[in-house]
Amino acid sequence: MPRVLLLYCFVFLLPTESCRRLCQAASKSKEQVSARPHGVCDGVCLEKSSCSQPCPPDTQGNMGFLCRQKKWHKITDTCRTLTAFNIFEAGEYSIQPSGGTKITEYANKKSETITDVLMRKCPRDLSCVIRNIQRSPRIPGNIAVIVQLLRNISTVLTTDVDEAKMQSYSIMANHILNSKSISNWTFIPDRNSSWVLLHSVNSFARKLFINKHPIDIADVFIHTMGTTISRDDTGKNFSFSMRVNDTGDEVTGRVSISRDELQKMPSPSKAISIAFPTLGAILEASVLENVTVNGLVLSVILPKELQRISLIFEKISKSEEMRTQCVGWHSLESRWDQQACQMIQENSQQAVCTCRPSRLFTSFSILMAPHVLESPILVYITYIGLGISICSLVLCLSIEALVWGEVTKTEISYLRHVCIANIAASLLVADVWFIVAAFLSGPATSHSACVAATFFVHFFYLSVFFWMLAKALLILYGILIVFHTLPKSALVASLFTVGYGCPLVIAAITVAATEPGKGYLRPETCWLNWDMTKALMAFVVPALAIVVVNLVTVTLVIVKTRQAAVGSSMFQEVRAIVRISKNIAILTPLLGLTWGFGIATVLDDHSLAFHIIFSLLNAFQGFFILVFGTILDPKIRQALKDRVTSAKWISRTSENLSSDFSRHPTKGPS
């Protein structure tokens, strides 16, 4: 490095003293870097502690490490060899002493960026940086430099891009899209680099000028095709076949524009398509979704009149255990979105999608996600069960209101019916909001409504669980007499705090913590996100914890009931077992123990039997509450019987009075 600096000093006729100082500074800096260790952090590795180390010799930047499980793990890497000083093949340019990205032309004393010099030095074809870029190692810092350069070029060039410029641009992009560089993308501090590259390539290609002849620029990891289209064409296809890794196996992709779509064009225009075999894997490191891109990423640049295209993706992984989704890349929210595409046909080899290209959606692919069991039986059970549950819950609340005065005369019975009534009310509102959320089109088109529906579904289903917890605490109160010193008003306030206060806090914190980063909702439906922010944990953890508490409560009830039967005759023993069975039958639906079957569906998500049992028990939970919590309650039945008897007595009395009145009508004054 000092020799190179010295050479440039002579070329630019710098003063000898300035040159000596610059060379000494560079030599001293190099000695300091060489003397320091790289790749290993000094000191004790404490959990979640971090450190920074210099890059290896002849590179600039540093590496960041994080301590996890008593080992240092590299999390960031800015090591680079490419600089403004050496990226050009030849010229009178050098890096500023500050080490910034601007370069100085000593003859004119003018400060410029790399892109400015590139546009001035080789504006015809952008070729003056290609050789050194291709020679550079594909380390994280170099990748970041090239991404920024490609971004700046796509921004600076506002006129038509010819084939020569597109060829050079593709060569630069191809270098960092190499399959051997995929792992290095994960260490770039700017997690947006992958989609910045995608947006930059699409933006640059949008300016591509196509004359009479089609354009076909094929590199190993990026392939660009362009042609002119008109309403007279019978259809237009772009077919690609590219390697996705070092195995040599190629994967195909095809873009088809139908004749009917072409009829919508008022005048001839251009159509451009770009295929990326490795960009899907690179995007995965940034998107942090629990999905895998399973085909080529196909970008399509079309006139705005064309609103529907067909895409055929050959699958990279032919596994039948994974489900496939047709998706488009949302350019504003930087994520894959199912709303842009629809699956038309799928088999083990390929998927056929229909997609809607626009300014928001330019790039498309297919995702491979873990298999989710889908069956018409489960759908029918869910919606029929919800309908029956809603009617049952309305009837349950009506009966409670009708007999409230007769069944709440004692403190324990009053508190018990407060719990049952609020469980029924919360589940009723939760079911209604669930249906509302199901009928919304999804987060992409109804984001605000989807957030509201998800919040209320989350809140009211949590309320169901926490009122079930309140019911369990009430049973413990009846068995253990824990709260015998508390007044009735304090108990009621405690129940409402548990039943509604805790769910409100959890639901509010969840939406406040995840929605600003667009991590509250799932991409395809109105429900809590799992892959990106794990927001679903705010429902699963409290629900399962309450199920455990309720299991303990049922165990205590069983033990208490059996203790009452100890020392009894065989007949009494049988009666005790019957009472235990009744207790379990009543407590199971009321305390939400049926949700425990959800664990079985997680452990074995391919078992249709577990899913059917889980769906039956939960979809019909409102019906179970009506039967076991209301109809089978002897006091409620007696109160209803008394109401019916009273109504009959009143009816008979009314009839007798009417009969007497008709036999002996009141005589008027003579």
18-32, 67-81, 558-572, 576-590: least confident range: 18-32
Per-residue pLDDT at 270: 93
The stretch 30-35 carries a mean pLDDT of 35
List, for residues 155-164, the tens digit of each pLDDT value.
Answer: 998 878 999 9
Which one, of 173, 169, 189, 170, lies nearest residue 285 by Cα? 189
- Return the residue matching tokens 């610059």: 22
The stretch 644-661 carries a mean pLDDT of 65
Q: How far is CA 48 from CA 52, 68, 197, 324, 407, in A?
A: 13, 6, 31, 37, 58
CA distance 146 to 190: 13
Most confident of the following: 215-229, 364-378, 614-628, 641-655: 215-229
The stretch 403-407 carries a mean pLDDT of 87
Does residue 132 register a pLDDT over 80?
A: yes
pTM above 0.75, yes or no: no
DSSP lists the bridge partners of residue 53 as 63
The stretch 122-151 carries a mean pLDDT of 93
Higher pLDDT, 607 or 97: 607
CA distance 265 to 164: 29
307-311, 451-455, 545-549: least confident range: 545-549
List, for residues 477-497, the tens digit of each pLDDT value.
Answer: 766 664 456 788 888 999 999
DSSP lists the bridge partners of residue 368 as 292, 324
* Sequence-ordered alpha helix ranges (H) in 12-123: 16-35, 114-121
Does residue 281 register a pLDDT over 50?
A: yes
Does residue 581 register a pLDDT over 50?
A: no
Does residue 307 register a pLDDT over 80?
A: yes
